[in-house]
Amino acid sequence: MIAVINYGAGNLPSAVRALRHVGAELEVTDDPAVVLAADAVVLPGVGATADTMRSLTQLGIAQILPQVAASGRPFLGICVGMQVLLTVSEEFGDHACLGVFAGAVRRLPDSAGKIPQIGWNQVRYAPAFADHRLFADIPDGSDFYFVHSYYCAVADPALVAARTEYGLDFPSVILRDNLAAVQFHPEKSGRWGLQLLRNFVQICAQHRSHL
């Protein structure tokens, strides 16, 4: 069972629909015990990192997510669900995040033009990750749907599985062991977004089969 964390994120219904469409067996939950017991976890999100961290902390979920991330179970963070995995965010003043990945959440540069970035943009794979299971049957350079004003400046470039250009070349996918995090919204990204979620669900099934 995949636990989809419910902390009031606006994209939760669309993320749940997309995951169910590709065959996910899931439970929408705000219960830390359910998250800890799940075979895999999805952390969706839109909005500000500070609000997200506040909600997750009030639910008691922020306190257990680093443990979940270190457990070896498949984990997918989406948009703000990616950003809160870093050490700190500069959005509305510096504040601590979960610290799963070293790095900072920073504002897109004004040179990017319109901020937030809203719309479709290319996702280009790092050569070392081009054959990763999460990208199976998705051509390099495919377009995904973005809605964000901030990006993840990851300390370790070896974790950056894909990049996107918008004022600067920023990480749009981070991968490490069981952990996957994407800046775009796969649930709003049509064919390729559904394929990415399908790949994640298959990764979850393979993980369960080896337990």
The span from the CA of 5 to the CA of 16, in Å, is: 10
- Axis-axis angle for helices 12-21, 190-209 (nearest 10): 70
Listed residue (195, 105, 117) closest to 96, CA to CA: 105
The span from the CA of 104 to the CA of 86, in Å, is: 6
- Count, residues in the chain: 211
Query: Among the options 97, 148, 187, 204, which is catalytic?
Result: 187
Residue that the structure tokens 């979850």 belong to: 204
Residue that the structure tokens 């998250």 belong to: 35
Q: Give, as one character, the DSSP assignment of residue 197.
A: H
Residue 210 designated active-site = no
Query: Among the options 79, 97, 152, 204, which is catalytic?
Result: 79
Residue 187 designated active-site = yes
Residue 204 designated active-site = no
Query: Among the options 91, 97, 152, 185, which is catalytic?
Result: 185
The span from the CA of 186 to the CA of 199, in Å, is: 11
Q: Which residues are catalytic?
A: 79, 185, 187
